Chain A
Amino acid sequence: MARDFIPKIATGNDLLEGDVVYFTESGDWTRDHGDAAVAGTEEQAQALLSRASGFPQQVVGVYLAEARIVNGRPAPVHFREVFRTRGPSNYPHHGRQARA
């Protein structure tokens, strides 16, 4: 892993439902942040973004988000990405957290 590079994952929103999705190693989309594919270098990150952008009929607004590795799985770094994994803080039964 290149020095000073913060690992990245690719994320976006599902076209039909609008909810948060993550791009996996196998080229699918998942609702589980921990299953996201991780890019460890800038080159890998650009390749990941380009692969993840190839689903315009399924996912919109694809971008790279920073991640850190916890127990071998990616975890969000920025609080915005933490909130995206959960859902709104005022309704604990809405959004992703409802399934937890």
Chain B
Amino acid sequence: MYDYTDFDAAFVRNRVAEFRDQVARRLDGSLTEDEFKPLRLMNGLYLQLHAYMLRVAIPYGTLNARKMRQLAHIADTWDKGYGHFTTRQNIQFNWPKLRDVPDILDALADVGLHAIQTSGNCIRNVTADHFAGAAADEIEDPRPTAELIRQWSTDHPEFAYLPRKFKVAVTGSPNDRAVTKAHDIGLRMLRDETGAPGYEVIVGGGLGRTPMIGKVVRDFLPKADLLPYLEAILRVYNLSGRRDNKYKARIKILVHETGLEEIRDLIEAEFQRTRAELPPVDPALLSSIEAAFAPPALARRPVPDLSRADAGLRSFIDTNVMAHRDPDHAIVSVSMKPVGGTPGDATSDQMRALADIAERYSHDELRISHEQNVILPHVHRADLPAVYDALRAAGLATANIGLVSDIIACPGMDYCALATARSIPIAQQIGTTFADLDAQADIGPLKIKISGCINACGHHHVGHIGVLGLDRAGVENYQITLGGDGTETATLGERTGPGFAYDEIVPAITRLIETYLRLREDRSETFLQAYRRLGMAPFKDALYAQERRADAA
């Protein structure tokens, strides 16, 4: 676990003291709301539909038990006993009171957490593969890179007021679990022909109003050049990104309007300057960061044969347990999507249970995934039965990872001031419709992603089935996209046609799934593969045939 340096800790405490003073000045009237709003946003505090919302950064999604317990304590003391894990590996508290927020920020600082750069037009919390440091397919742990970027970007004076918010994701594996191609900058770690480490640099990805898959701007960037190169990209964007229209202000629009070749030339020219200006990263700092992410000392114990375990444990292992780089160990994904539950929500009791389990069975490590689940990255296979029992006792053993009910859903109009429709109840209804886990296993891997507005926090564009909630003349309406993919083969989903009313959307999704089950070649062909083979037509028929029959009648 990377711990804050004294510098970091003092910086965070200063920010809390500064914000405490700002809140006091807002409350006594010396600051107007117009003056205060940008200050509260700089500290992750939004005003949402029913209350304030505090967004807390979980850098690269990594937590330990102590931090998780503190999040539970905050949920109990100043909120309503739960928190919401988001698609950017943050946690959001939905009900804080303005006067309590400085105390919450102090409680976060006590364990090395904060809410800095979780909002505003700055470089946001850097995200990374949630299996980092554990995955069997990993080339290198991406978190030291993410931490280096965090240190470089935190309070970076030149990039505090960018044209728009700026999101960076890093993966150390060829299998992309960090959706790097849908970020402003995506970094994929690789090695050149001599074995030297570096990055493929992807720019200009992003979802939202104008979704785009990022483009490779550099095939191979040596590791040592990372910060000057990022600095160059950000400078080009900061100077040339559009500020006249917030919908066109993201780097994806700049890349699109300028063209990849020209933007590459601009970045490379700037890179020559930044490389000369920026001192190289202190090797001692770099090695101290890397040491903090050193793999835990894994125990050598016999691995039991679990093939005769009871059906519940076996299905949990089949669905929620992934390959670790050490064959005696496993990565356990804990589903935060129980049947009928709110995707990503955890009660404070569940957070404490996860902390206990991580401490006992996962080398005190936890991860938050962008899919709104919690990961136990280093579990010895002999401990899987005990982990399963402990999770079951906490209501956290749903064996649905990657299946139809493992849905990403943004808060939507149940919480978000920007929403145009609800997301959560749609996810809950789909989960309830397909509650039977055997039926889910039969349907197989299927990613449904739901956003409550065009901003696409629910990543619907890269869902195999994407759902976008809209407001059509004062009524909730839901558009469907098909064939999206957020992995290394990233693709944007295609719109099927007119949207569906609130009551019609779950039956429509059911028809899509039934069509897939009818037309798939066999159980091994996933929904996405079947869609890619069959195209839109049969799915469109399933969605709209009834309507066409009604029109013809």
Kindly list chain B residues whose C-beta atoms are within 8 Å of the C-beta of A15.
Answer: 26-27, 33, 98
Chain B 443-473 interface mask (CB, 8 Å, partner A; 1/0): 0000000000000000000000000000100
Asked whether B181 is an interface residue with its Cβ less than 8 Å from the other chain, the reply is no
Q: Do the beta carbons of B475 and A18 come within 8 Å of each other? A: no
- Distance, CA A90 to CA B419, complexed state (A): 16
Asked whether B78 is an interface residue with its Cβ less than 8 Å from the other chain, the reply is no
Neighbour of B51 across the interface among A17, A57, A90, A91, CB < 8 A: A17
**Which residues in chain B, 77-105, are within 8 Å of chain A measured between CB atoms?**
80, 94-99
Q: Do the beta carbons of B97 and A17 come within 8 Å of each other? A: yes
Which of these binds chain B: A33-41, A42-50, A80-88? A80-88
Kindly list chain A residues whose C-beta atoms are within 8 Å of the C-beta of B29.
Answer: 56-57
Kindly list chain A residues whose C-beta atoms are within 8 Å of the C-beta of B345.
Answer: 90
Asked whether B328 is an interface residue with its Cβ less than 8 Å from the other chain, the reply is no
Interface centre among B29, B47, B419 (most CB of A within 10 A): B47
Asked whether B415 is an interface residue with its Cβ less than 8 Å from the other chain, the reply is yes
Asked whether A51 is an interface residue with its Cβ less than 8 Å from the other chain, the reply is no
Chain A 59-100 interface mask (CB, 8 Å, partner B; 1/0): 011000000000000000111100110011111001110000
With A56-B33, A79-B475 as known contacts, state yes or no: A89 contacts B50, CB within 8 Å. no
Which of these binds chain A: B140-148, B350-358, B422-430, B483-491? B422-430
Taking residues whose C-beta sits less than 8 angstroms from the other chain, chain A's interface range is 20 to 34
Neighbour of B414 across the interface among A16, A60, A83, CB < 8 A: A83
**Which residues in chain B, 55-82, are within 8 Å of chain A measured between CB atoms?**
80
With A15-B98, A18-B97, A90-B428 as known contacts, state yes or no: A60 contacts B50, CB within 8 Å. no
With A16-B98, A18-B47, A60-B47 as known contacts, state yes or no: A79 contacts B474, CB within 8 Å. yes
Neighbour of B80 across the interface among A18, A83, A94, A96, CB < 8 A: A94
Q: Give, as a whole number of angstroms, the nearest-CB distance from A38 to chain B.
A: 19
- Distance, CA A77 to CA B99, complexed state (A): 33
Kindly list chain B residues whose C-beta atoms are within 8 Å of the C-beta of A19.
Answer: 50-51
Q: Do the beta carbons of A83 and B413 come within 8 Å of each other? A: yes
- Considering only CB atoms, which chain B residue lies closest to A93 in the complex? B80
**Which residues in chain B, 19-59, are within 8 Å of chain A measured between CB atoms?**
26-27, 29, 32-33, 47-52
Neighbour of A79 across the interface among B96, B98, B476, CB < 8 A: B476
Q: Give, as a whole number of angstroms, the nearest-CB distance from B414 to chain A.
A: 4
For chain B, the count of residues having a C-beta within 8 Å of the partner chain is 32
Q: Give, as a whole number of angstroms, the nearest-CB distance from B132 to chain A.
A: 31
Neighbour of B32 across the interface among A56, A80, A95, CB < 8 A: A56
Kindly list chain B residues whose C-beta atoms are within 8 Å of the C-beta of A90.
Answer: 342, 345, 414, 424-425, 428
Q: Do the beta carbons of B424 and A87 come within 8 Å of each other? A: no
- Considering only CB atoms, which chain B residue lies closest to A77 in the complex? B474
- Distance, CA A19 to CA B415, complexed state (A): 11
- Considering only CB atoms, which chain A residue lies closest to B98 in the complex? A16
Kindly list chain A residues whose C-beta atoms are within 8 Å of the C-beta of B414.
Answer: 83, 88-90
Q: Do the beta carbons of B474 and A84 come within 8 Å of each other? A: no
Kindly list chain B residues whose C-beta atoms are within 8 Å of the C-beta of A94.
Answer: 50, 80, 95
Kindly list chain A residues whose C-beta atoms are within 8 Å of the C-beta of B99.
Answer: 16
Asked whether A13 is an interface residue with its Cβ less than 8 Å from the other chain, the reply is yes
Q: Do the beta carbons of B50 and A18 come within 8 Å of each other? A: yes
Asked whether A20 is an interface residue with its Cβ less than 8 Å from the other chain, the reply is yes
With A56-B33, A60-B47, A61-B47 as known contacts, state yes or no: A88 contacts B98, CB within 8 Å. no
Kindly list chain A residues whose C-beta atoms are within 8 Å of the C-beta of B80.
Answer: 91, 94
Q: Do the beta carbons of A89 and B425 come within 8 Å of each other? A: yes
- Distance, CA A57 to CA B95, complexed state (A): 20
Q: Give, as a whole number of angstroms, the nearest-CB distance from A83 to chain B.
A: 6
- Distance, CA A71 to CA B422, complexed state (A): 29
- Distance, CA A18 to CA B40, complexed state (A): 13
- Considering only CB atoms, which chain A residue lies closest to B48 in the complex? A18
Q: Give, as a whole number of angstroms, the nearest-CB distance from B445 to chain A.
A: 26
| Chain A interfacial positions (CB closer than 8 Å to B) | 13, 15-20, 56-57, 60-61, 77-80, 83-84, 87-91, 94-96
Q: What are 22 A-B pairs with beta-carbon distances under 8 A?
A: A13-B51, A16-B99, A18-B98, A19-B50, A19-B51, A20-B49, A56-B29, A56-B33, A61-B33, A78-B474, A79-B474, A80-B49, A80-B413, A83-B49, A83-B414, A84-B49, A88-B414, A89-B422, A89-B425, A91-B342, A94-B80, A94-B95
Given contacts A83-B414, A90-B425, A94-B95, 17 further A-B contacts (CB under 8 A): A15-B27, A15-B33, A16-B27, A16-B98, A16-B99, A17-B51, A17-B97, A17-B98, A56-B32, A61-B33, A78-B474, A80-B471, A88-B50, A88-B424, A89-B422, A90-B345, A94-B50
| Chain B interfacial positions (CB closer than 8 Å to A) | 26-27, 29, 32-33, 47-52, 80, 94-99, 342, 345, 413-415, 419, 422, 424-425, 428, 471, 474-476
Closest 4 CB pairs of A and B: A88-B414, A18-B51, A18-B52, A90-B342
